[in-house]
Structure 1
Amino acid sequence: MRSLLIIFALLLLTAFAVLAQDKQSKRAAKKEAEAKKYALTKEILESGEYYFVADWATTQKGRRINLISNPNQFKISDQKAEASMPYFGAVQMYDMSGQGGINIEGPVENYEVKYNEKKNRITVTFKARSSTGNETYACTFNMGATGGTSLSITSGARNRISYSGQIKALSDTNPKE
């Protein structure tokens, strides 16, 4: 009886050791996949030719709006920004051009990229003017290790709005026109 208990205890310890190794290999595989996505995102940003398509918008008051069926794009190419993003929120000063949403067209100013290698995070900040030229937007892209991207846009004439989606290289697929 005693030898049976010893054999059972050894089998149990062996099973726990195998499970612990499996968890460690899963963690290592996850970290490796995150490192690959981070390197790919870094490569896309360094090319200077990328676009962002949002799946969700979040207003300053926390309301989330699904944008899957709502066309939107934010393109950066040759130090120029071109964007057509829907806007949901309060407007302090209305643009009389008749364009709805956030429309950007022109050169970017104060373009800055910050890398956090420890956390595999990238932050891109810049300013861009509206297509009518009468509003300046402060834009911030935050990219995580898993490839998800958030875009925050603020302006003196509107409340802040955030978008979440994916950033892609212009060479991969053309953005929605």
Structure 2
Amino acid sequence: MKTRIIILSFVSLFVMTCSASKTNATPEQIAALDQLVANQTFKIESHWAMPQVNRSISALQNSGIIAPGSNANRISLTGIANELKLDGETISSRLPYYGEVQMPSGYNGSDDNNISFDGTIKNYKAEKNDNSSYTISFDAKSNNEGYNVTIILYPSLKSDMILKGAKRFPIRYTGQITPISE
């Protein structure tokens, strides 16, 4: 009998914590996000970069180069200028990159180690999810590399973004969405 009570307690605690972590968006938040996605006009400022941890990133952490409060799999971008801006079919990006580049493409320091692109998007797709968030995916191109971008936008105006480059390991960013001011 005592075992059943303990198991029942754990199950009920698990159910309560799962339901407490579910976010309930207000109709105003959902409408604001719907409008941003429909107009395709927003920018994302990232607060955290989450690179794929490998031997190189672990070596950086062990050397003490990574700022306090950050670690090999979660690097704070506080104070580092960054943004991804979508304005119709035009995209621009200035994101710091932490990770391993598989094939360098520049000579004499001419290659930009950040993820920077300006131009038009290709294969744009936006799907509304059951929890009123959106999953947006598209392809973008810098001067010398193509990227596959997947963004999840939440009604709380939080974002989760994954960029996969042709020459780099994937990296994930989390941040905040803001409308583009005219």
1:32 Cα deviation after fit: 5.3
Establish whether residue 168 from structure 1 lines up as the match of residue 178 from structure 2: yes
CA–CA distance in structure 2, aligned partners of residues 50 and 162 of structure 1: 18
1:38 Cα deviation after fit: 2.2
Which structure 2 segments of 5+ residues have no match? Answer: 1-19, 54-71
CA–CA distance in structure 1, aligned partners of residues 73 and 127 of structure 2: 29
Please give the per-residue CA displacement for 1:24-77, whole angstroms capped at 9, x wherever unaligned. xxx9xx7353x3222211111111211110010001126100001111011111
Partner of 1:5: none
Establish whether residue 95 from structure 1 lines up as the match of residue 108 from structure 2: no
Instruction: Please give the secondary structure, in 1, of the residue aligned with 2:169.
Output: strand
CA–CA distance in structure 2, aligned partners of residues 31 and 65 of structure 1: 28
Instruction: Indicate if the aligned counterparts of 1:38 and 1:147 stay in contact, CA closer than 8 A.
Output: no
Partner of 1:140: 150
Amino acid at match of 2:101: V
List 4+ stretches of structure 1 deviating above 2 A: 30-33, 144-147
Number of corresponding residues: 140
Partner of 1:125: 137
- Larger gyration radius, structure 1 or structure 2: 1
Which structure 1 segments of 5+ residues have no match? Answer: 1-26, 173-177
With structure 1 as the length reference, what TM-score do the two structures score? 0.73
* Identical residues among aligned pairs (%): 26
Correspondence list, 1:35-114, <5 A? 35-61=27-53, 63-96=73-106, 97-114=110-127
Please give the per-residue CA displacement for 1:75-104, whole angstroms capped at 9, x wherever unaligned. 111301110100000100113133121011
CA–CA distance in structure 2, aligned partners of residues 32 and 163 of structure 1: 22
CA–CA distance in structure 1, aligned partners of residues 31 and 163 of structure 2: 25
Amino acid at match of 2:39: S
Amino acid at match of 2:47: D
Establish whether residue 31 from structure 1 lines up as the match of residue 24 from structure 2: yes
Partner of 2:69: none
Amino acid at match of 1:31: N
1:113 Cα deviation after fit: 0.3
With structure 2 as the length reference, what TM-score do the two structures score? 0.71
CA–CA distance in structure 2, aligned partners of residues 79 and 142 of structure 1: 18
CA–CA distance in structure 1, aligned partners of residues 158 and 76 of structure 2: 16
CA–CA distance in structure 1, aligned partners of residues 158 and 25 of structure 2: 16
